[in-house]
A = this chain, B = another copy of it.
Amino acid sequence: MTGAECLLRTLVACGVDTCFMNPGTSEMHFVTALDRVPEMRSVLCLFEGVCSGAADGYARIAGRPAATLLHLGPGLANGLANFHNARKARSPVVNIVGQHSTGHLRHDAPLTSDIEAIARPVSAYVRTVERVEEIGCETANAVRAACEARGVATLIVPADLSWSGAGEPVSTQSAESPAAIDSSRLREIAAILRSGEPAALFLGGRALWAAGSASAARIAAATGVRVFANRYGARYHRGGGRPSPLRLPYFPEPAEAQLAGLKHLILVESAPPVTFFGYPGRRSLVAPEDCALHVLASPDEDGVAALEGLALECGLSGEPANASSAAPPDWPAPGPLTLDAIGRTMTRLLPDNAIVAEEAVSSGEPILRHLAAGPAHEHLPVTGGSIGQGLPVAAGAAIASPDRKVIALEADGSGLYTPQALWTMARERLDIVVVVLANRRYRILDIEIERTGAGEAGPRANDMLDLTRPNVDWAGLAESLGVEGLRAATSEEFTAAFRSAVSRSGPILIEAILE
């Protein structure tokens, strides 16, 4: 058995059975080993940022790592931006990177680069395999590192180790086992809640999943504590009448307004809320200056268990909060397409238990607001702000959960960083409806240019935010990559297109041309 085959078999034995890949010469032994390791699903991507983003989306939904297989330092470099997002999402990923053969490395051939140095800024763990006898152990260690750190574990494999004879694959069970929450901490937090001083829970990580949000809602109902969500959490359960904490707004002023007057902010699997960017003369921290910060559960601890423990400490029994049935929104009025209209239509037509992968910072909010009143779904938002995550995350989520409909809610500017994801959607016949919100502008920058005090945008500045010279034909782009493309410029057209798209299976893109 070659080192490459041993590595693949070890991955499978450790529970990693999906690999997003863009292999090159130094990875050919992995590719031929695929026919001997049928348990490993291999998904070809045309650009490495699709691999890394798909692995992020996969991990967010599956709760366990996929592998990526990338070609040398430059292949890794192309995957880096979405690994940054995976890191911020706390998504486990086992990132296999081929390296030149050991003897070749010292000759500084064209593709030679310092792979470890490229990997480190986004990786929780970086190792280069040094002996083929250890390739099984090294692979199992990388899986364990990815799971335990909930991050990217990069394993670099020189080509000669992938083609040399190796030992047996290694099996390991690695499940993250977060530390138990100290009961004295629960008592302290409960005392704060009983103090009557204005307090709020700030949820991130797994505390945003249904069980965590439900416990938080019960505590809130009993104590009057407010509940907010870190908007950069990786995965939210929303809709279906379940309680869903308010995501803190993107911009500092409305975010600060939400937290105004608070004396205690209780962090559950989250760092304190900070603004996305710094602005002249503004604080970065969002909570009031005299608001005390308390940690109920750190990001490495189990926030759901902590919230359950806190509920018990507050004397609340285990019964769930009642689901409140919010009324769905009215259908949109006919006319030119607006974000509000898209939100209404999507909420009315959203299939139950859908996954909404969203990358639409300036356009998403009016849609997401409606969706909260829709059927139960999961929302996978922007985590690290590296642009180009939405389409790959949607692809990975669809592979992790083939029975669920995935909606990719994508800004037209952001989508153009990784449009190659569409090809993988077509190839794998993924059940995804991509909605491209085409305002033909880097809209967020219209706002940021003012916020940063950069002054009036003259014609040349304006031109750098403008995506109309030429307009991108998103429906045509989708078709060129094998995905059916539809176009909608009115509410009626969008409703017809979305209805058609959700009633069928397979990838479809709707270019939503905004007024």
| Residue numbers in B under 8 Å from A49 (CB-CB) | 78
Task: Count chain A residues whose beta carbon lies closer than 8 angstroms to a beta carbon of B.
Answer: 105
Q: Bits for A34-52, please: 1 = Cβ < 8 Å to B, else 0.
A: 1110100010101101000
List chain B residues, Cβ under 8 A from A383: 110
Q: A416-B420, A448-B25 are in contact. Are A277 and B100 (CB under 8 A)?
A: yes
State how many angstroms separate the Cβ of A42 from the closest Cβ of chain B.
6
Q: Which of A38, A114, A279, A386 has the most CB of B within 10 A?
A: A386
Q: Does the CB pair A426–B470 fall under 8 Å?
A: yes
A378-392 interface bits toward B, Cβ cutoff 8 Å, 1 = contact, 0 = none: 000011111110000
Find out whether the CB atom of B74 lies under 8 angstroms from the CB atom of A274. no
Cα–Cα distance between A452 and B33 once the two chains are bound (Å): 13
Contacts of A103 in B (CB 8 A): 278, 284
Q: How many chain copies does the complex carry?
A: 2
Nearest residue, chain B, Cβ from A384 = B110
- Please name all residues of chain B whose beta carbon is closer than 8 Å to the beta carbon of A136 when the two chains form the complex: none
B residues less than 8 Å from A445 (CB atoms)? 23-25, 28, 31
- Cα–Cα distance between A382 and B109 once the two chains are bound (Å): 13
- With known contacts A464-B31, A469-B427, A277–B26 Cβ distance under 8 A: yes
Question: Which of B77, B84, B384 is close to A80, meaning CB atoms less than 8 Å apart?
Answer: B77
CA distance A451 to B384 in the complex (A): 41
Judging by beta carbons under 8 Å apart, are B472 and A482 in contact? yes
Could you give 11 example pairs across A and B, Cβ below 8 Å? Answer: A28-B448, A31-B457, A42-B463, A73-B84, A74-B80, A77-B386, A101-B279, A114-B121, A419-B419, A470-B482, A472-B482
Which chain A residues have a beta carbon within 8 Å of chain B's beta carbons? 21, 23-26, 28-29, 31-32, 34-36, 38, 42, 44, 46-47, 49, 73-75, 77-78, 80-81, 84, 88, 100-101, 103-105, 107-111, 113-114, 117-118, 120-122, 159-160, 163, 232, 271-272, 274-280, 284-285, 382-388, 413, 416-417, 419-420, 423, 426-427, 444-445, 448-449, 451-461, 463-465, 467, 469-474, 476-477, 479-482
